[in-house]
Chains A and B, each alone.
Chain A
Amino acid sequence: MPATINVRDLRKSYGDVVAVDGVSFEVREGEFFGILGPNGAGKTTTLEIIEGLRKPDSGEVRVLGLPAWPRNGSLLPKIGVQLQASSFFERLSAREQIRTFASLYGAGARQADEMLETVGLTDQAGQRTEKLSGGQAQRLSIACALVHDPELLFLDEPTGALDPQARRNLWDLLRKISKSGRTVVLTTHHMDEAESLCDRVAIMDDGKILKAGPPAALVRELDQPLRISVESGLISADQAAGLTSGAVSDDGVSLSIATSEPGQVLAGLARADALTGLRVTGATLEDVFLSLTGREYRA
C-alpha cells in the first residue's frame, strides 16, 4: 500500500536561515503521526510544505499519491487543516463559523451541526467565537477542519495554550478522530502529548529529523534504568543498595533506586514490606531528546 504522505529529502531556507535541512519520512494510512521538537525546529515549515502552502527549495512531497506543490486543487477536499484556535471569521457564532467552512467544501449545514455535536459544542453553537474558552475554540477549530470528512488531518500545535484539563479533553477527542480511521499528522512541542497520542513520532531539531519510530520503542532503545521510589524510612539506604547494583538516594521524603533489574528490586521491597508510596518511572521522550541532542529539552 502506498504511503499517505511521502517526504523525500526536503530542504527549505529563508535567506541564510536553514529551516528544513534534508527531511525524509513516511506516514502510513490511518496512522497518528507526530512531528515533535522545540519551537524553531522546522516543524511548521515542514508541515506547510506538505500542505502545499510553500514551495520547497528541493526534495519531493507526495500526499495521497499526488505532488503537494504546486497547490493541488483536487487534493484540498481530501485534507483538513487546523491552524490555530483563532483562525476564524470575526464576530460569527460557532454555528455560523463551521457552516461557513462547511460550505467552502460543499458540505451541508446538517453535517456542520453534527460535527459541532461530535466535538461537544452544541450548547455553545450560538455563542460568538470570541467568547469561547481556549479549549472550546480549539475544539471548534478542529471541527472546522473535519467538517468535510477529510482522509488526512493536519493539526498544528493543537493544545498550545490550553490548561491541563482542557488538554486532556482535547486528547480524548483526537483519539476518537484517529480511531475513526483517518490519518492524522500532528506537530507539537509537548513531549507528553506526542507520547500519549502518536503511533509514531519523528523528533526534529535544527531542521533535521533526529529519530523516528513508535514512542515506546524510542524510549526502550535508550535502555535507561528505571526509577523506583518509595516513602523514606521504610527501608534503609544500605538495605536498598543490597537489592541491586544501581544508585540509591534518599532525600528524606522518598527513597529512590535507579535500576535495570526492576523485578529483583520490587520483589526485595515487597519482602521488606516497603511498598508504601511506590512509584515506578521509566525514561520518557524527553530523555530520548536529551540523549540525541546532548541538551535538556526546552519547548
Chain B
Amino acid sequence: MTGFTSLSRAMFLGFVRDRAALIFSILLPVLFLLFFGSIYKNSSAPKINLVTVGQVQLLTQARQADPGLAKVLAITHARSESAALASVRKGDDDAAVLEHGDRVIVRYSIADQTKAGLVNSVLGSIVQAANQAASGKAPRFTLAASQVEDKSLKPIQYFTPGLLGWALASGATFGAAITLVSWRQNKLLRRLRLAPIGTGSIVAARIWIAVAIGLIQLAVFLAIAKLPYFGLQLTAAWWMAIPLVVCGILAFMSIGLLVGAIAKTQQAATSIANLIILPMAFLGGAFIPLDFAPDWVRQASYAMPLRYLVTGMQDVMARGEGPTAALPAIGILLAFTVIVSLIAVRMFRWDDV
C-alpha cells in the first residue's frame, strides 16, 4: 500500500467507526427526509373527503362520467344530517353533501380555507358539468390548466436535494474541521509531517475520503427517496448531481479547514461550524424551499454556498433542466472553494504553539 491509500483507508475506517459522524451526516438527514417526506407526501394533490346524507344522484353520475374524480373525492355516508355536520365540524370530513330534489346542498367548514375553496370549486364544476350535459349541447369552451413545473414536482422533489445539500454541507464541514483540530491537538499532524510523505498526499487522501462519503450520502438519499412510498422522480440530467456533490464537498471542506485553522479545541470547532451551517441550512434553501421563502431569505441565499448546491441539484434532479443548468452552480462553488482555501492556508498552523 502506498501512503495515499493507507491514509485513505485509515481515514475511512475512522469515519465509519465514528457513530456520531454517521448519525449526523447520514442518519439524521435521512430521518429528516423520512419525516418531511411523510408529512408532505400528499400535499400537492389534496383529497377532499365528502360525507353524504342519503342518495346524492349528482355525485354518483359525476363519478360514473369521470372515473378520475375518485382520485380527488373520497366519499363516505352518514346516517343523519346532524352526524354528517358533526363530522365536518370536527374536521374528519371536509364537506357534507345533501340532495333535495334538484338542489344540492353543501355544508363546509371554513377552518381550512384551502379545502373550503376546493370543495366549492369542485362541486361547482360538477354541478356545471351536469347542467351542461342536461342541456344536450357539446361544450363550446374548455379550460386546459396545468402547472408550469414537471407534473411530478411533489414536495419530495424539493426536500431530497435540500436535505441532501444540508447533509453534505454539515458532513464535509464538521469532518474537515474536527479532523484538523484533533490531529493538531494529538500531534498526529506533526507526526505525519515527519514521515516521508508529502503534504499533498495527506490532503488528497482527506479530500478523496470526503468525496467518497458525499457520494455515499447521495446514494443513500436517492435510494430512500426513490422508494415507491416517497416516489422521487429523477429527471433526465440527474447525473449532473454527481459533479455538483463533488464541488459542494470541496466548498464545504474549505469552510471546515478554515474553521479548523481558527479553532483551538474540538468544542470550539463544533460551535463555529454549527454557527455557519445551521443558519445556512435555513437561509440557503435546504430546509425551506426558496420558492416559498420570504423575499429577504431569497436575497440572503445568494451569499450562501449551500444555495448553489441545493438549487443546482434541484434543477437537474427535479426540475428537468438540462445538464448545463448545473454549470453556474459548479463554477460558483469552485470559486468559493479557491477563495476560502487560500484564506484557510494562510491561517493554517501545524501545531498549537
Chain A residues within CB distance 8 Å of chain B = 14, 51-53, 71, 73, 76-77, 79, 81, 83-84, 86-92, 96, 99-101, 103-106
A53 touching B193 by the CB < 8 A rule? Answer: yes
Binding site for A on B (CB under 8 A): 1-3, 5-7, 9-11, 13-14, 17-18, 182, 186-188, 190-197, 350, 353
Q: Nearest Cβ distance between residue A49 and chain B, in whole angstroms?
A: 13
Q: Are B186 and A88 closer than 8 Å at their CB atoms?
A: yes
Q: A89-B14, A91-B17, A92-B13 are in contact. Are A104 and B190 (CB under 8 A)?
A: no
A83 and B187 form a contact (CB under 8 A) = yes
Looking at the assembled complex, report how far the CB atom of B273 sits from the nearest CB atom of chain A, in whole angstroms: 17
B interface, over-half SS = helix
A173 to B192, CA, bound (A): 24
Asked if A96 and B10 sit within 8 Å, CB to CB, the answer is yes
8 contacts between A and B (CB under 8 A): A53-B193, A76-B195, A81-B194, A84-B187, A90-B14, A100-B6, A103-B1, A104-B197
Contacts of A104 in B (CB 8 A): 3, 6-7, 192, 195-197
Nearest A residue to B178 via CB reads A90
- Given A14-B353, A76-B196, A100-B9, decide whether A84 and B186 contact each other with a Cβ distance below 8 A: yes
Are B182 and A90 in contact (CB-based, < 8 A)?
Answer: yes
9 cross-chain pairs, A with B, having the tightest CB-CB distances, nearest first = A103-B6, A91-B17, A76-B196, A104-B195, A103-B1, A86-B186, A90-B14, A89-B10, A83-B187
Residues from chain A with a CB closer than 8 A to the CB of B190 are 53, 83, 87
CA–CA, A86 to B14, complex, Å? 15
Identify the closest chain B residue to A83 (Cβ).
Answer: B187
Q: Whole-angstrom distance between the alpha carbons of A100 and B4 in the complex?
A: 10
Complex contacts, B9 vs chain A, CB 8 Å? 100
Given A53-B350, A100-B10, A101-B195, the answer on whether A87 and B3 have CB atoms closer than 8 Å is no
Give which listed residue, A73, A87, A96, A101, contacts B13 with CB less than 8 A.
A96
Q: Of the candidates A52, A87, A92, A105, which one forms a contact with B187 in the assembled complex, judged by CB atoms under 8 Å apart?
A: A87
Q: Quick one: given A73-B196, A76-B194, are A92 and B353 in contact (CB under 8 Å)? A: no
Contact A92 to B10, CB < 8 A, known contacts A83-B187, A103-B2, A103-B3: yes
**Complex contacts, B191 vs chain A, CB 8 Å:** 81, 83, 87
